Amino acid sequence: MKSMHLALRRLMLAASMMPLLALSAVAQAPTPAALAAAPALNSGDTAWMLTSTALVLMMTIPGLALFYGGMVRKMNVLTTVMQSFAVTCLVTVLWMVCTYSFAFTTGSPFLGGTSRFLLQGMTLDSVNDLAKTIPESVYMCFQMTFAIITPALICGAFADRMKFSALLWFIGLWLFASMHRLLTGCGGQTASSTTRAYSISPAERSCTSTRGSPG
Amino acid sequence: MHINSGVAGLMAALVMGKRRGYGTEPMPPHNLVLSVIGASLLWVGWFGFNAGSATAANGNAGMAMAVTQIATATAALSWMFAEWVVKGKPSVLGIISGAVAGLVAITPASGFVDPRGALIIGIAVGVICYWSTTGLKHALGYDDSLDTFGVHGIGGAVGAILTGVLAVAWVGGEGKSGLIDGNPHQVIVQLYGVAVVVVYDAVVSLILLKLIDLVIGLRPSADIEREGLDLALHGEAVQ
């Protein structure tokens, strides 16, 4: 009896909220002009790219961490798995702060764009010109997972003998200096379609596609 | 991208020098089961890596997935048999290293080669990377602890160059053909692409490593290295 009373009260509360909800829905509904300008997102593409992003992140943690961790001596296993994990975190933050903007927006030929610093301007329906059928947030995260595993792979070469502090500095600086320059400074402006190297890795993707400012 | 990592790794191994005791005391993997789990997760995750690079759920993604699976399995077998012939035993470390080499090599090629091309890439990279992590590494004397350069650097280069040979237009699209599809010039383009990445990355990594070494130092002390980094650097250890 008591629970029924409670349910009734909830129902009444919900009913009283309905006009309010409807009002807010009207307020947020896009105008016809905005609908026409909105890019045509494809739910199938988006679903697959969300899945792919998770899969690529899984390659680094726990995939690469375990792969490398198992191969070192027991006294260095925690250092090794920590390297993969810390690189994941460090690159994510750097990517959010500036490297995504440098690598995937238009700006100077050497530095790339600064329009997406701190992901400012990335909205629910913005897209990057390199992938127009998925939300920019998904594309940004997908490319982020690539930026994570690339430096994480390097850790295998100096396993057992790198200071952790030196590792963080090296990975952070390397992300800027090496990966970012390859992403932006690889001659995309001058190379014609017949002289480009074939590759679909993100580093070369920006060479093989027209670079443009994200929507 | 893998050439990036591989070359950076090689430079790091060269700048930092060998692990203390390398070559005089054995340094076997402490738990290969972890490595098998890790390699398996890498394999599965790689479908996102290659089939996701089409940024669409379409036929390109499907074909990328197919060639990824084929090249990986082929390279694992190729490495395993190479080791079996040379050393007399097929090892667990060998078959998982072969699989990772196959994944690395098919990455630049996925989206451009057909399944037959993937088979050829798998066979080639398994044998070549087996050689690069044994013969080449010992001949040159660097200590690439977990074979980042031997697998990712060499494997990535093999894949990139073979893409120039095996690319076919019906997979990659109009104008994206390689040697076997009547465009021998692409092999030169791929070689040039690999060379640019190698040189650029080697220089950048060398500068950064030297800089960090000067400011804070790259290696822990000899004592720390001998007793293990876990306890000294992180205050924890696996018992």
Q: What is the ipTM of this complex?
A: 0.92
Q: Do B145 and A161 touch (CB under 8 A)?
A: yes
Question: Is B16 at the interface with chain A, CB within 8 A?
Answer: yes
Q: Are residues A159 and A128 in the same domain?
A: yes
Whether the predicted pLDDT of A196 surpasses 60: no
Q: Do A194 and B237 touch (CB under 8 A)?
A: no
- Chain B's closest residue to A195, CA to CA, is B189
Where in the sequence is the domain holding A86, given as residue range(s)?
43-208
Continuous segment of H or E residues that includes residue A13: helix A2-28
Q: Do A77 and B230 touch (CB under 8 A)?
A: yes
CA distance B19 to chain A (A): 6
Please list every residue in chain A whose beta carbon sits closer than 8 Å to the beta carbon of residue B228: 73-76
- Residues 6 or more apart from A200 whose CB is under 8 A from it? A208, B50, B53, B54, B64, B108, B110, B111, B112
- Using CB atoms, pick whichever of B33, B152, B175 lies closest to residue A153: B152
**Among A58-62, A114-118, B178-182, which stretch is predicted with the lowest mean pLDDT?**
B178-182
Q: What band does A37 get if pLDDT is binned at 50, 70 and 90?
A: low
Give the residue-averaged pLDDT of A35-41: 64
Q: Write the CATH number for A50.
A: 1.10.3430.10
Give the residue-averaged pLDDT of A124-153: 92
CA distance B85 to chain A (A): 23
Looking at domain B2-12+38-234, its CATH class is mainly alpha
Whether the predicted pLDDT of A206 surpasses 50: no
Please list every residue in chain B whose beta carbon sits closer than 8 Å to the beta carbon of residue A178: 4, 8, 200-201, 204-205
pLDDT for A122 equals: 94
**Best mutation target, A149, A199, A206, A209, to test chain B (most B CBs within 10 A):** A199
Residue A213 lies in a domain: no
Give the residue-averaged pLDDT of A142-155: 92
Q: Do A163 and B110 touch (CB under 8 A)?
A: no
Whether the predicted pLDDT of A169 surpasses 60: yes
Please list every residue in chain A whose beta carbon sits closer than 8 Å to the beta carbon of residue B47: 52, 55
Domain ranges for chain B: 2-12+38-234
Residue A36 lies in a domain: no
Q: Are residues A16 and A61 in the same domain?
A: no
Q: Are residues A74 and A176 in the same domain?
A: yes
Phi, psi of A120, rounded to the nearest 5 degrees: -65, 135
Question: In angstroms, rounded to a whole number, what is the distance separating the alpha carbons of residues A37 and A193?
Answer: 30
Q: How many domains, in total, are found in chain A?
A: 2
Q: Do A74 and B212 touch (CB under 8 A)?
A: no
Q: Do B5 and A153 touch (CB under 8 A)?
A: yes
Q: Are residues A23 and A56 in the same domain?
A: no
Whether the predicted pLDDT of A84 surpasses 60: yes
3-state secondary structure B90-148: CCHHHHHHHHHHHHHHHHHHCCCCCHHHHHHHHHHHHHHHHHHHHHHHHHHCCCCCCCH
Question: Is B188 at the interface with chain A, CB within 8 A?
Answer: no
pLDDT for A27 equals: 41
pLDDT for A77 equals: 95
Q: Are residues A22 and A93 in the same domain?
A: no
Q: Do A159 and B50 touch (CB under 8 A)?
A: no
**Among A5-9, A127-131, B60-64, B117-121, which stretch is predicted with the lowest mean pLDDT?**
A5-9
Which is nearest to B93 in space by CA: B141, B136, B32, B38? B32
- Residues 6 or more apart from B13 whose CB is under 8 A from it? A157, A158, B142, B143, B144, B145, B148, B149
In a structure prediction context, what are the per-residue pLDDT tens digits for chain B, which is 239 residues long? 678 788 888 888 888 888 887 877 778 899 999 999 999 999 999 999 999 998 999 999 999 999 999 999 999 999 999 999 999 999 999 999 999 999 999 999 998 999 999 999 999 999 999 999 998 888 888 888 788 888 988 999 999 999 999 999 888 887 788 888 888 889 999 999 888 888 888 888 899 999 999 999 999 998 998 889 999 999 999 98
Q: Are residues A121 and A151 in the same domain?
A: yes
Please list every residue in chain B whose beta carbon sits closer than 8 Å to the beta carbon of residue A133: 55-56
- Chain A's closest residue to B109, CA to CA, is A199
Tell me which amino acid residue A11 is. Answer: L
Please list every residue in chain B whose beta carbon sits closer than 8 Å to the beta carbon of residue A151: 5, 8
Is the backbone of residue A118 left (phi > 0), alpha (psi -120 to 50) or beta? left
- Residues 6 or more apart from A65 whose CB is under 8 A from it? A80, A81, A83, A84, A85, B38
Q: Are residues A132 and A167 in the same domain?
A: yes
Q: Are residues A26 and A56 in the same domain?
A: no
Residue B175: Cβ within 10 Å count: 9
- Chain B's closest residue to A155, CA to CA, is B9
Question: In angstroms, rounded to a whole number, what is the distance separating the alpha carbons of residues A103 and A70?
Answer: 34
Cα A176 off chain centre by: 16
Q: Are residues A11 and A102 in the same domain?
A: no
Q: What band does A138 get if pLDDT is binned at 50, 70 and 90?
A: very high
CA distance A118 to chain B (A): 23
Residue A170 lies in a domain: yes
Which is nearest to B109 in space by CA: B152, B52, B46, B158? B158
Residue A37 lies in a domain: no
